[in-house]
Structure 1
Amino acid sequence: MSDKMFLSDNETVLDAVSSAEVKQFRCLECDKTFPFKKSLKQHAVVHSGVKNFECDECGKLFAHKFNLTQHLLIHSGVKNFECDECGKRFAQKGGLTKHLLIHSGVKKFKCDECGKLFARNCTLTKHLSLHSEVKNFKCDECGKLFAQKTGLTRHLLIHAGVKNFKCDECGKRFTLKENLIKHLLIHSGVKNFKCDECGKRFTQKVDLTHHILIHSGMKNFKCDECGKRFVRNSELTRHLSIHSGMKNFKCDECGKRFVRNSELTRHLSIHSDVKNFKCDECGKRFARNSELTRHINSFRCEELQV
């Protein structure tokens, strides 16, 4: 037996499907089923687009008062739901339920552009913006644009100088954990990615991809200030900081400032007791490879003078 009806101005079709034991009411918009017709009517408001319940904290709108009540937990700071796997806490049970999919290892949602798999559809949706040309989130510090707000948020940590992830091998610190994980491959000595042109090997595939551009001879990125051309946009971006004269990266040890974060990173090795670069001739150790190179060259100069 089928019972169909229309709701108010939206004319949302409701389909009541009866079975031998349980009568289920199915929404023809999304196929979601409900045990009661009243529940289905309440749900139909979601598809109507009407959101009458507003959060006084952030202005976000909701179709149901219940959803607003759940949302307010986020602003309260109370997180009663804890993940047994990693200890991460959540304000809402739904947030924990979605999070648990990450630990399950199940990734049902696939990106048609690059084939990458995701545990949650919302994560796939965010990822798809990377393939889009639209980048609406801009860093006020350096002008870099991002497709996702999360990308901008993570990027801002660089300007903040926050580096909580330290390499136990060499003492180098990183803003993001994934950068530390990638860096650790360097110490492993494993280089599985080989350039077919010159035979040079790389620890990471992305480094090989960037390297291949060198052999192409194409330099599509030009500096409007001095006309210098670059193979990669990232190289041009780093180069532009020279013309800006801005030194946003400061050493907390001595106060010296740098144009680039990479320069600050190299400088920090001076303050570290770690000296991984050793001269095979005299045994003297150095914090940076460039210092070792200068040291070796000084030996050669002395030999030439003799």
Structure 2
Amino acid sequence: RNFSLEQEAAEQQQIKEEQKELCLSQEGERLVLKQATDSCMMIAVYGESDHSESEPNSDQLFSYNSPVSESQDQEESKHVDSESTSNNKLQMKRHHRNHTREKQYSCEMCEKSFSRRDHLLGHMRTHTGEKPYSCEICGKSFNDNSKLTVHVRLHTGEKPYPCNTCGERFKDSSGLKSHMRIHTGEKPYRCPTCGKSFCQRGNLFYHLRIHSGEKPYSCKTCGKSFSLKSSLTSHSRTHTGEKPYACKFCGKSFSVSSSLTVHLRTHTGEKPYSCQTCGKSFTHYGSFLPHMRTHTGLINTSTSC
């Protein structure tokens, strides 16, 4: 029975790790999550900061191509000052919109609004399917230049956004913003069915499958289905025998990383599960849970928790 409890604890830990990894790792997955949460009548929080490297809009291009007088040599200094003033006004206008959240550019197809015209143009490509920005390394295409910029960092390993609290780094500002909620405790994503809240949209997305019962990933060998693609990957190793996670102390290998994490505690002596009633600590959640029942008096007669 303890083995069953420990196995469940390992699977739960694995799911947590996989959810964090999946919802932060690839921008393509984020788009899927966004579509799923939108379908649940949730408010998308795709930040405009993600467009910080977008192409200049028509207002910018106009200011750069505004005509000069015929006596250009004499008026050059005046023109530069005028252009600088124009650009400063444009920047101030954008800055003001960032604070007031003014959104004057609306999509005629879905009525979504934006504070900048170039953001609207990028959004329109989600309707037309146009993806003019292609990765030179893998060929994947995107409808927005800033998304390509973030994608390329998957190849280069660049992570220019560090967390000031723990030092973990991220390839885009939205990844850092999502991570910061782990430290602040903010949980803005609420399940409309049971009310449970989450700090990351991806976690809510997977949680919703508990209510819907959706398990879109099926094992081709035995037919067992899973709600997470990564869970299917881990399960497939029970058929292939693959154990890619090896202990650096004794060399023992495991099919899932969470099992290795639990195993390492036998070497380090770490006991992260502490009883608040008597103070006793445990290495495994599977051992901690039965102990807690000795205080609560609850007895589970099933074979698993």
Q: TM-score range by the shorter chain?
A: 0.3 to 0.5
Output the TM-score relative to the length of structure 2.
0.48
Output the TM-score relative to the length of structure 1.
0.47
Higher relative CO (CA 8 A, sep ≥ 6), structure 1 or 2?
A: 2
Q: Which has the larger radius of gyration?
A: 1
Structure having the larger proportion of residues in strand: 1
